A = this chain, B = another copy of it.
Amino acid sequence: MKIAYVVPGPMDYQEVVRRGELLKQWASPGTQVDIVRTSHGPASIESMYEEYLAIPETAKMVYQLERQGYDAAIIGCAGDPGLDAYREITSGMLVVGPGASSMHLAALLGYRFTILTVAENTVASSYELAMKAGLREKVASVLAVEIPVLELAQNRDETLQKLISIGKKAIQQDRADCLVLGCMSMGFLHVAEDMQEALSIPVINPAKTALKIAESLVSSGLTHSKKAYLLPPKLANGRVTSLDELDVNPT
């Protein structure tokens, strides 16, 4: 099984390598997992504008990954930006969003989960992501951590303490019985385990979860429904023959 993890932006090379190593550790025997990044886009995603900015380049990369024989692609952002588009432009390769995957797993483990998102900017869109996943009523709350994505790893201990403190608030005030980390950088920070120990409730790591869901689906012979995510009409009816041609530049 070949799975690609797509960083939707020009992440620092060393960090890309570090994350790739973690993914390999998490993978089941028999799974090959490769990490790739796009050549330009947002430095990190903490607003809707940055979500959208990342999509066109990521789409092109996903389109290529299918042609390179991957079984599945994971979108490296917990907001799942562009997931429906990537599913439209692929024919058989599965595309997985860590956000929806994590929420569904959380819903399997308890009654109400809280999503810890990076900034106030992505609180409303996190509720909308839950609504699109059909899980709005399972969300106890969405709480913003208010640490810039690029600073999350600079002081891991401080980040962990803040996450634990907000997690306690979720449990006591919002009656959450499960937590979802709403940011891939949190996922690659090894905090879920420590939080779980401190808070005694499940804490979902979106990076690990997306990998496990991808493996589960591929090994079950499942991919996203092409009745749900149809090929764009111009591609379907042969008006254009490649993804690039959909982007028109008349000059």
- Residues of A in contact with B (beta carbons under 8 Å apart): 9-10, 26, 28-30, 39-43, 46-53, 55-56, 59, 82, 84-85, 88-89, 96, 100-101, 104-105, 107-112, 119-121, 124-125, 127-128, 131-138, 148, 171, 177-178, 192-193, 196, 200-202, 204-205, 208-209, 212-213, 215-217, 219-230, 232-234, 237, 239, 243, 246-251
Given contacts A55-B55, A82-B52, A219-B28, contact A46 B232 (CB under 8 A): yes
Looking at the assembled complex, report how far the CB atom of A7 sits from the nearest CB atom of chain B, in whole angstroms. Answer: 12
A201 to B222, CA, bound (A): 9
If A30-B29, A52-B55, A131-B131 touch, whether A227 touches B201 (CB-CB below 8 Å) is yes
By a CB distance below 8 angstroms, the chain B residues around A228 are 109-112, 124, 177-178
* Min CB–CB distance A61 → chain B (angstroms): 13
Q: Are A220 and B233 in contact (CB under 8 A)?
A: no
Known: A119-B233, A220-B205. A52 touches B46 (CB 8 A): no
Given contact pairs A46-B232, A232-B121, A221 touches B196 in the complex (Cβ within 8 A): yes
Which residue of B is nearest A212, CB measured? B216
A49-B88 contact, Cβ under 8 Å, with A216-B215, A233-B148: yes
The 27 sampled A-B contact pairs (Cβ below 8 Å) are A10-B249, A26-B219, A28-B28, A28-B30, A29-B29, A29-B30, A39-B251, A46-B233, A48-B88, A53-B55, A56-B56, A96-B108, A104-B105, A107-B133, A109-B225, A110-B227, A119-B233, A121-B233, A128-B132, A134-B137, A177-B225, A177-B228, A200-B226, A200-B227, A202-B225, A212-B217, A216-B216
| Chain B residues closer than 8 Å to A247, beta-carbon distance | 40-42, 53
Q: What residues on B are CB-neighbors of A233 within 8 Å?
A: 46-47, 119, 121, 148
Interchain CB contact under 8 A, B232 and A204: no
